[in-house]
Structure 1
């Protein structure tokens, strides 16, 4: 009985020791920016972690050859950026800070402590974007609150409910690519 249990435990641990079937490469880049002004020093720390995961596959997996060649497989790349400013850490999967066009006006979307801030062409604060738990955003300005998300092209799409017409209106901030 003791031998059987000991044999099973040995088998379970030996299975865990087998070669891994993924090639993982991780790189962390940290940038510290210190700004001196009349208010004192402000320090912001930007940490970017890039992780590359590639499955390892063999060309002839069923052959009896001793040394086998690897088959090229796609690499999954994930980048996570965390920015610490004024003691508040903000984790950003993709930084969407850019200039956007809506009805011929140029708006600037800037990364803020808890989401994004949208500025009008005259550099006046127009609205804020706050991230929700399902990777969408709540757009809040003086006159409206909307549901927003970034589409595959990087454009900011806002969906608002109009209670007078009982319909959803869609506005798209088109990203300005340089």
Structure 2
């Protein structure tokens, strides 16, 4: 009888551990820093049935529209953030939702981030086809990924980055 109880308890503990691990892989975050190295915002990333939802809150940016993308390397060395690599593009697509060449867009392409007159922005994006789990479309592939904000508006069609200009802010995507 004690052995059965032990087996049941061990099974329940194992199941609970699997549930905690599964929950952990359903969310991620990024602390977004400026070219000066100071934190100016955050991103909360959660899994959805179609991809990942990215909720961004930032301050201290110039008003207007800015390109924002998932980049292929989880490294944000200021001031230029070139260490973040290019756009996350595991499907070898063309840049931008308005690109006339198929396939498009990159999985890391997002719509523009709109910053208000006070330099603040709060936006939610959906990155279709991206996962927080395993596989080639995972934000946690070997080397990781980052979220990068650019100086200018993304035209949403020009390869490779929509003419969105310099990288002005970056955050490594972490579990």
Q: Return the TM-score normalized by structure 2.
A: 0.28
- State the structure with more CA Rg: 1
Greater strand proportion? 1
| Higher RCO (CA-CA < 8 Å; seq separation 6+) | 2
Greater helix proportion: 2
